[in-house]
Amino acid sequence: MIAPFFILLMLFVIVPIVINVILSFMNYNMREIHFVGFTNYIELFKDKLFGIAFKNTLFYTVFNVLFTMIISFLLAVFLNRNQWITKFARSCMYIPYVTSMVVAAMIWLWMYEPHGGVFNEILKALGLQPVNWLLQKSTALPCIIAMNVWKGIGYNMVLFLAALQGVPTALYEAASMDGAKGWAKIRYITIPMIQPIIFFIFITNIINSFNVFESVTVMTSGGPLNSTTTLVHQIYTRSFTEYKLGYGSAIAMVLSIFVLLFTFLSFRFGSQSNDTGN
C-alpha cells in the first residue's frame, strides 16, 4: 500500500514542484526556452505589479481570516447553547461551502450589480445612492472578502461546533458556581480547551486565503486598476495570458516559500505556546 502512495506523491506533488523550480530559472514562452538564471527573480522584486498583488493578498488574507474565524466561532457558540436549531442551522450554513466557488462568485456578482443588484436595491429603499461595488478601488477588494467570508463560515462553524461539543459541561458548571459569567467562561475555558482546532482552522484559512483566485477572476479580473489582483491571479495572468511561464513560476515559488515559512513559524510558536500553557 505504501508504493502507490509514493508513486502518486511523486507524480502529483514532487514532479510538479521540481518542474516549477526549473521553469523559474528559464525564459519560456511556449515556443522557446532559455536559461536565464535569477533574472526572473530580480525582475520580480522590481515589478510594481507584483508588489501591488502581494499587498492585496496580505490585505485579503488578514481580513478574510479574521472575519471568518470570529463570525464562525460566535455562531458556533450560539448554536452550542441552542441545541434545538443546531442541525437545521448547521445544514443551512454549510450550503455555501459546498457550492462551487465560481457559482458563488456569479451569485454575488449579480448581487453587486450597479443596476438591479440586491445591495443597491436595499440602498435605494433606504433613500441612499447606489454604489458601483466592484468598479471602485475602495470597495472592490472588501466586496470579494465579504463573499469569501460568507462562503467559508459554514465549514469553520462546523469545526468549531464539533470542538465545543467536546468540552466537558462540568467545567462550565464549576465556573458558574464560582461566579464566572459568559465571556469569562469563553476566555478561560472554551478557548483553551479548543486551542488545537483554533490553530488548525487558522493555518488552513491562511493557506486558502493566500491561494485566492477564482472569486477574483470571476468578479473583477483583478481590477479596477489592479486593486484586486492577487499573487495567484498574477501567476495565471503572467503564465497563460502573457505566456511568461518562467516569470509566473518565479511568482509561484515566492508564494510557496512565503506560505511554507509562515506555516513553519506558526507551528513553531504554536507548539511553544501549548508547552507554556501545559
**Residue 260 near residue 173, CB atoms below 8 Å:** no
Nearest CA among 115, 145, 146, 144 for reference residue 131: 115
Task: Return the SS3 of 194.
Answer: coil
Cα 185 to chain centroid distance, Å, stands at 29
**Residue 183 near residue 202, CB atoms below 8 Å:** no
Block mean pLDDT (10 aa), the chain, length 278? 75 87 90 91 94 97 97 91 75 88 95 93 93 95 97 94 90 84 86 92 94 95 95 95 94 93 81 55
Dihedral, CA of residue 67, residue 70, residue 75 and residue 81, to nearest 10: -170
Torsion region of 229: left, alpha or beta (phi above 0 gives left; psi -120 to 50 gives alpha): beta
Would you state the cell numbers that stand for residue 88, as one nine-digit string? 437545521
CA distances in angstroms from 115 to 4, 118, 121, 132, listed in the order given: 54, 9, 8, 9
> 0.85 exceeded by the pTM?
yes
Phi, psi torsion values for 31, nearest 5 degrees? -115, -45
Instruction: Give pLDDT, residue 138.
Output: 94
CA dist., res. 71 & res. 118, Å (int)? 22
Domains of the chain by start residue, with CATH: 48-277 (1.10.3720.10)
> 28 pairs with which residues across the strands?
33
